[in-house]
Amino acid sequence: MTEQFRHQYSRMWLAILNGDVEEMKRWGKALGVGDLFPLLACIMTAKPWNAIQRGIGKKIDDQTRKKEVFNENIIY
């Protein structure tokens, strides 16, 4: 892996952890996935898109988790 790739990949992870969609878009584009950055984030984390948008480091209550798990309209 090149130094550039490692930098871009780590910045993508920081954006994901912070739930910063604009930064995910920026670093996803730098990594060559363009508008598919949400898919890359989901693949990297094995989490649904709504959890990533919230910031995967942020805790949610059980009621919200149940709604998200059973909501058929979740955009991944």
Q: Is residue 22 part of a domain?
A: yes
Q: Is residue 13 part of a domain?
A: yes
Query: What string of DSSP letters covers the chain?
Result: --HHHHHHHHHHHHHHHHT-HHHHHHHHHHTT-GGGHHHHHHHHHT--HHHHHH-TTS---HHHHHHHHH-TT---
Q: Is residue 32 part of a domain?
A: yes
Q: Is residue 75 part of a domain?
A: no
| pLDDT value of residue 29 | 97
Alpha-carbon distances of 34 from 41, 53, 65, 67, 73, rounded to whole Å: 12, 17, 29, 30, 24
For residues 24 and 32, the answer to whether their CB atoms sit within 8 Å is no
Q: Is residue 12 part of a domain?
A: yes
| pLDDT value of residue 69 | 64
Q: Is residue 65 part of a domain?
A: yes
Domain housing 47: 3-70
Average confidence (pLDDT) per 10 residues, the chain, 76 residues: 96 94 97 97 92 79 69 51
Q: Is residue 33 part of a domain?
A: yes
Our count of domains for the chain comes to 1
pTM for the complete prediction? 0.75
